[in-house]
Amino acid sequence: MSNVEPGRHLPLESLHESAGARFGAFAGWNMPLTYPAGVMKEHLHTREKAGLFDISHMQLFAVEGDEAAAFLSHACPLDAAAIGMGKSKYTVLLNEKAGIIDDLIITQLSATRFMVVANAGNAAKDEAHFRALAANFSVSLEALPRVLIALQGPEAESVLTNAGLDLSALTFMTATEPKPNWFASRSGYTGEDGFEVAMPVTEAQAFVEKLLADERVMWIGLAARDSLRLEAGLCLHGQDIDETTDPQSAGILWAIPKRVREEGTFVGAEALRAIHAKGSDQKRVGLKPEGRQPVRAGAPVIDADGTVVGRVTSGGFGPSAGHPIAMGYVAKNLAEPGTQLFTEVRGNRLELRVATLPFTPHRYRKG
């Protein structure tokens, strides 16, 4: 076990320490991986009640200015002015080859003001990319120092209301600023109904302690965050999508409006149109290992003849599914659910089936 301290610490680290968290390095941060309940109980608790995640490693950016919408519609395959007030949209930052630099959630707060939530590991890269593009626009980009928590699960709304933060008016992928310098959205990374709430660091501890006082709330670490999102079929950037994968093969073209894809002038537009015209060779799919043995990221996907036809990009065990689960890319002609494929783990051939994502049904509050 390594004792090397990673660079960055969560503002509420002492709260996690007193909760008995086991820490590990993730994206340059010292992050709670599990708490004494353990990944299995944490995972199931989130689907049954309310799981509390400290995701302050993620970065909020406020984008503001007369040309904020035009800027974001150039940086991302997006019609930012058409998102709608208080609405959030899943989108991506593309490079010139339409490779995915990061995936983001962008919320429109007014005609000239937007909130961007970026992944921890990509935040510095995203900021540099945004700043380079922003030079040609009348826009300001500000990285906001915030504590960001997620409360996920069927009891999340009621817990927040009892803690004095009534977000019941929000529906899935809508957001609000409930207090000065706070930002709350009905969204998450678990497939459950839930919320992500950003707040000033100075106000965070009192609020989080209020949430923890509710017996329905349990701290959830990164290990369960990963098993929850994998069951929900959601991509992890750096694993399931990266700068070498494009939105089409990743199966996230739904996030790009057709008109934007066809006519947009966003970075990577030409490359994406070319990929779309030609079609991609590979497709992201769910993969269900047929036994009890988990299949991990990096394992090859092979056909009955032993030919490599794809790769596993995320894999583990699904506590709610009750069996191993995985996600990866396979040749497009083998992407039909039910297709029998194989992998090799430590020299043993294991059977996989292409599976429909998500493994666990989404339970978003769509209003």
Minimum distance from CB of 313 to other proteins (Å)?
Answer: 15
Q: In angstroms, how far apart are the furthest CA atoms of the chain? A: 61
The only residue of 316, 320, 326, 360 in contact with other proteins, by rule CB under 8 A: 316
**Measured from the CB of residue 14, what is the shortest distance to other proteins in angstroms?**
22
Give Cα 281 to chain centroid, integer Å. Answer: 25
Helix orientation angle between 68-75 and 123-134, rounded to the nearest 10 degrees: 120
The least distance separating other proteins from the CB of residue 348, rounded to whole angstroms, comes to 8
Contacting range for other proteins; rule: CB under 8 A; set: 61-69, 88-96, 201-209, 289-297: 289-297
Residues 6+ apart with CB under 8 A from 97: 246, 268, 271
Stretch touching other proteins by CB under 8 A, among 83-91, 154-162, 288-296, 326-334: 288-296
- Report the candidate in 31, 28, 27 with the shortest Cα–Cα distance to residue 7: 28
The contact mask relative to other proteins for 34-63 (x = CB under 8 A, - = no) is x---xxx--x--------------------
Please say which residue, 278 or 346, places its beta carbon nearer to other proteins: 346
Query: If binding is defined by CB under 8 A, does position 226 make contact with other proteins?
Result: yes
Tokens of 65: 């200015």
293 binds other proteins (CB under 8 A): yes
For the four alpha carbons of 46, 51, 57 and 60, in that order, the dihedral sign comes to positive
Q: What minimum distance in Å lies between the beta carbon of 132 and other proteins?
A: 36
Task: Tell me if 350 sits within 8 A of 290, measured CB to CB.
Answer: yes
Q: What are the φ/ψ torsions at residue 64 (nearest 5 degrees)? A: -140, 145
227-286 residues near other proteins, rule: CB under 8 A: 227
Provide the token pair at 211.
Answer: 């949430």
Minimum CB distance to other proteins smaller for 296 or for 366: 296
Which residues ranging from 109 to 128 are in contact with other proteins (CB under 8 A)? none
Nearest partner of 187 among 232, 121, 130, 222, judged by Cα: 232
Least distance to other proteins, CB of residue 236, Å: 13
Which part of the chain contacts other proteins (CB under 8 A), choosing from 31-39, 52-60, 108-116, 200-208? 31-39
Distance CA 358, CA 316 (A): 14
C-beta of 236 vs 269, nearer to other proteins: 236
Closest residue by Cα to residue 10 from 53, 46, 61: 53
Q: Is the peptide bond before 358 cis (omega within 30 degrees of 0)?
A: yes
Q: Summarize the annotated binding site as residue ranges.
A: 196
Does 328 participate in binding other proteins (rule CB under 8 A)?
no
Q: Which is nearer to other proteins, 2 or 258 (CB)?
A: 2
Site string for other proteins, 176-195 (x = CB under 8 A): --------------------
Name which of 1 and 135 has its Cβ closer to other proteins. Answer: 1
DSSP conformational letter for 121: G
Beta partners for residue 310, in sequence order:
301, 330
* Nearest residue (CB) to other proteins, 86 versus 316: 316
CA-to-CA dists, residue 249 to 199, 253, 338, angstroms: 36, 9, 19
Contacts of 277 (CB under 8 A, 6+ apart): none
Among residues 19, 294, 300, 363, the one that binds other proteins under rule CB under 8 A: 294
Residues that constitute the known binding site for substrate = 196
> What residues line the site for other proteins (CB under 8 A)?
1, 34, 38-40, 43, 223-224, 226-227, 292-294, 296, 316-317, 319, 324, 346
